[in-house]
A and B are shown apart, each in its own frame.
Chain A
Amino acid sequence: MKHDFEPKIVAFVCTWCTYAGADLAGTSRLQYPPNVRVLKFPCTGRIDPVFILRAFQKGADGVLVSGCHPGDCHYMAGNYHARRRFAAFRKLLEFVGVDLERLQFSWVSAAEGGKWVEMVTGLTERVRTMGPLAEFKELEQAECWSGKLDTPELNEAYQEI
Chain B
Amino acid sequence: MNNKAQQLDVTPLVEATYYQAVTAAIRSEAIRLLGEGKVAAVVGYRAGRRNNSALPAIVTSIDQVDQLIFSPACVNNLALYLTKAKNEVKGKGKLALVAKGCDLRAVAGLLGENQLKRDDVHLIGIACAGVYGAEADRGLPLCEATIARKCRECTVHEPQRTDAVTGILPKLKELPHLESEELARLEAMTPKERWDYWQAHFARCIRCLACRQVCPFCYCEQCLCDKNRPQAVESSPRPAGNSAWHIVRAMHLAGRCSACAECERGCPMDIPLNLLNRKMAKELKELYAYEAGLEPQEKGPLTSYKEDDDQSFIK
Contacts and interface: CB of A to CB of B under 8 A. Distances in A.
6 contacts: A49-B248, A70-B311, A92-B276, A104-B315, A139-B240, A143-B238
Contacts, number: 123
Interface in A72-115: 77, 80-81, 83-99, 104-107
Given A70-B311, A105-B313, A140-B240, A97 B195 contact: yes
Given A92-B250, A92-B280, 11 more contacts: A50-B232, A70-B311, A85-B302, A92-B247, A93-B247, A96-B194, A104-B315, A105-B313, A119-B315, A142-B238, A144-B203
A71 interface: yes
Interface stretch (B37-45, B106-114, B282-290): B282-290
B251 A92 contact: yes
B198 interface: yes
Interface of A: 48-50, 53-54, 57, 70-71, 77, 80-81, 83-99, 104-107, 119, 135-136, 139-140, 142-144
Contacts of A80: 305-307, 309
Interface stretch (B67-75, B168-176, B185-193): B185-193
A71 B307 contact: yes
Interface in B30-50: none
Nearest to A56: B244
Given A83-B314, A88-B302, A139-B199, A144 B309 contact: no
A105 B309 CA distance: 15
Contact of A83 (B250, B283, B311): B311
